[in-house]
Amino acid sequence: MTQSAAMKLYMTDNSDLMEVSSIHPENGNLIVIGTIMGAMPVKAVVKPAELRRALGLMSFKTKMAAFFMLFRASR
C-alpha cells in the first residue's frame, strides 16, 4: 500500500490544528490517525452513525462544494 501525503486541518488563523496521517477501516468503523497541534498523537474512531451525522451537517450545496474541491488546485 502506498502512503500519500498527510491531510492537514487548519484553524481560522491558518495555523495547523491537526495532521491526519491515515484513515482506514477497522471493525466496521473508520480509524483516523494523526497529530493534534504538532505534538499530541491521536487515534480517533468514527462510527457509522457519526459519519451519517457528519454528512447530515452538510447541506446539498456544501456537499457539492466539497466534491468539486477535489478537482481544484490547492491555494
Q: Kindly report the three-state secondary structure assignment for every residue of 36-66.
A: ECCCEEEEEEECHHHHHHHHHCCCHHHHHHH
Predicted confidence pLDDT, tens digits, the chain (75 residues)? 455 688 999 999 999 999 999 999 999 999 999 999 989 999 999 999 999 999 999 999 999 999 999 999 876
Tell me which residue range forms the domain holding 34: 7-69
**pLDDT attached to residue 65:** 94
Would 64 be classed as within a structural domain?
A: yes
Strand partners, 24: 31
Would 75 be classed as within a structural domain?
A: no
**pLDDT attached to residue 6:** 87
| Contact of 43 with 33, CB cutoff 8 Å | yes
Entry pTM? 0.77
The dihedral built from the CA positions of residue 6, 19, 67 and 54, taken in this order, carries a sign that is positive
Number of domains in the chain: 1
Would 74 be classed as within a structural domain?
A: no
